[in-house]
Amino acid sequence: MQRKLLLIGVLITLTGCNRHYFPSTLSPGAFMSQQSQSQAEIQSLQGWVKVQLQSSAGNYILAQKIYYSSPNLLRLEIAGILGIPVVMVVIDQNDFQLFIPIRNILVKGRTDELGPAFTINDLLQGFIYGSRLDLGTGQNIIITENSKSYKVAWIAEGQQNLAWVNKATKVITRHEVRSLRTNEAIRIVERAGIIKVGDWYYPGLVSVYDRDLRQKATFKFSRLSFNEQISADVFKLKLPATYEEKKLSDFLRDFQ
């Protein structure tokens, strides 16, 4: 009986060890090399994404159809009643077009007008690049691990970063950016609902908390297909014979 209790105690202790992290034998360079080998090349992607926004202004849920063609083409269609698009956005590298059929308004401009680092890479890195962790400019890098995941801590741009990377899938399951002074969370990205495509893994559910924007956004992907041929016409807006064209600044002013 005592031996059985001792064995159970040892098993519980060993199981509990998975929750704790110990110094890793990998150097930052070796870790990055290992992670870079896990990056798959996606030539195209299409499917649906359900977006839920929670903010001080209220809660919203919308559905979007997404089309992506490597390396620089993206189309988003925000669906309304019966799935009919109410907003269509096409991004071609650094240029965007936004068309609202019900208002017959076309807005054109550069992606940097939409916000800092608003690029196709930024829009998709939470999903397609769920395995890409950039430690290039990081300082005080510390890597620990257990049997299931790595935990990486580093300082970048005056902020503390923490990331958890699943060993089996290479997906960054959680990434926190925290204030060095107050330890307050500035940004948290979580990834779950892992999807396997061939030998690669991608998160089907991504949530992003942003303190400065005072909002949390959740993206749930469904009906996804990878590397299927997408016609070039998909990334060209079919506009009516007449429409009103506005600059982004004028368009936004109308909603203030």
pLDDT number for residue 39: 57
What pLDDT does residue 84 have?
Answer: 78
Beta strand 244-247 pairing with 105-110? parallel
Instruction: Evaluate whether 168 touches 153 at the Cβ level (below 8 Å).
Output: no
Residue 10 is assigned to a structural domain of this protein: no
What domain range includes position 241? 23-251
Is residue 39 in some structural domain? yes
The per-residue pLDDT for range 18-39, each reduced to its tens digit, is 578 999 999 998 988 887 765 5
**Domains: count for the chain:** 1
CATH of the domain at 172: 2.50.20.10
Helix (H) or strand (E) holding 36: helix 28-36
What pLDDT does 110 receive?
A: 85
For 183-238, write each residue's pLDDT tens digit.
Answer: 999 999 999 999 888 778 889 999 999 898 888 989 999 998 888 999 999 999 99
pLDDT 10s digits, 76-123: 998 887 777 888 999 998 889 999 998 899 999 888 776 654 567 666
Would 11 be classed as within a structural domain? no
Give this prediction's pTM: 0.78
| Residue 235 in tokens | 């990334």
Residue 41 lies in a domain: yes
Coil, helix or strand for 43?
coil
Q: SS3 for 138?
A: coil
Q: Does residue 62 sit within a domain?
A: yes
222 falls within a domain = yes
Q: Is residue 131 part of a domain?
A: yes
